[in-house]
Amino acid sequence: MKYEYGLFKRQRKKGHVWYFWYWKDNIRIYRSTGKTNKKEAGLYAEIFLGTKTPKQITTLTRYTRNFFVWDRCPWISRQHAKGRSFSRTMAQMRRAHLKTYILPAFGGKALSSLNSIAVENWLISLSLSNQTKNHVLRTLNIVTREAAREHLVTHNPIADIESLGVTPKRRSRRSILLPERTMALLEWWKTLTRYPDPGDFVFVGVQGRWISARSVSINLMPGLKRTGIDVVGRNIVAHSLRHTYNTKMRELLTGDVLRDFTGHKSLKMTDHYDRPFLEDRLSSFDNLRPKIEGFWSNATT
């Protein structure tokens, strides 16, 4: 059924808003589009009245065919053109969210049919941690916000979904053996820093506080380049150092000792590892020092 409709403006306290009218059972009905732009208002009216042709109705699967696909996604290209960082690894993660969770649930639905209640109920029902659910929500939000920017929908239908609460990870104290050359560099650093006391942070940011993760991320790549490390085509982040350490030390240390060094915990481990007596633990690792010293003495970049 094709509706006849018309658009008109009404002045409100915060500016004008576009309304539309249409006939139903010989009665003229008036409805607000909530839009201040005439083109967006017309699109809203057409979607509401169902007057768009099948070719114009885009499903989520069709729209996301190349979304987050490296070298084929216009959204990624636009982020890079704006000087924003969006790595290949992040693109792969977002694409996996689409294929694994989002498209099986909503892929066959028209973009205009998505609504916050259905999406939020689905999100809560997923057997995932709240942190992962928030990442999935962020992925879908990027897609629906882009669809609204392209006027494929009148607005972002999930913009009002709040993120889920996340319980912060418990901070654990760790005991770890440092190579002699690292200890020597730290002693040298103590002669330069304004915060040499044992209770101070080793590397200090503004006003004696710890350095933020963002500061580390911003300065890591320039630092690697200054040392001559090849970073071309490599997605190196601060956490990469932890992965490297874990991989290399697995060749030298037993699983229990390595978990104690890195703070990793298996399901069978107890809270004993959350509250180690540091000096006693370090003493128990003295027999491992030759292996660790040998590795770092031979390590190269």
86 and 26 within one domain: no
Tens digits of per-residue pLDDT, 104-136?
Answer: 999 988 888 888 999 999 999 999 889 899 999
Residues 241 and 204 reside in one and the same domain? yes
Mean pLDDT value across residues 88-107: 92
Asked if residue 68 and residue 28 are part of one domain, the reply reads no
Q: pLDDT at position 268, please?
A: 39
93 and 201 assigned to the same domain: no
Q: Directed axis angle between helix 255-262 and helix 238-249, to 10°?
A: 160
The answer on 287 and 218 residing in a single domain is: yes
**Do 81 and 35 have their domain in common?**
no
Q: Is residue 241 part of a domain?
A: yes
Establish if 133 belongs to a structural domain. yes
Task: Give the range of the structural domain holding residue 37, as residue numbers without chain letter.
Answer: 5-49
Higher pLDDT, 199 or 161: 161
Between 99 and 229, the higher pLDDT residue:
99
pLDDT value at 3 more than 60 = no
- Specify whether 24 is located in the same domain as 103: no
**pTM of the predicted model, to two decimals?**
0.50
95 with 133, same domain?
yes
- Does residue 154 lie within any of the structural domains? no
Q: Return the pLDDT at 182.
A: 86
Please count the structural domains in the chain. 3
In a domain, 282, yes or no: yes
Each residue's pLDDT tens digit, 166-205? 776 666 666 777 788 888 988 898 888 888 887 788 888 7
What's the token pair of residue 216?
């580390």
Q: Whose structure tokens read 């057997």?
A: 127
* 142 and 195 together in one domain: no
| Cβ count within 10 A of residue 123 | 22
Question: Which of 102, 133, 149 delimits the end of a domain?
Answer: 149
In a domain, 162, yes or no: no
| pLDDT band with cut points at 50, 70 and 90 for residue 60 | very high
For residue 301, the model assigns a pLDDT of: 46
Residue 276 pLDDT class (50, 70, 90 cuts): very low
Instruction: Specify if 161 maps to a domain.
Output: no
End-to-end CA distance of the chain: 69
Q: Classify residue 155: in a domain, yes or no.
A: no
CA separation for the pair 210, 203 (Å, rounded): 7
Query: Which of 8-22, 141-155, 194-208 is the least confident region?
Result: 194-208
Higher pLDDT, 206 or 279: 206
Looking at the domain assignment, is residue 235 inside a domain?
A: yes
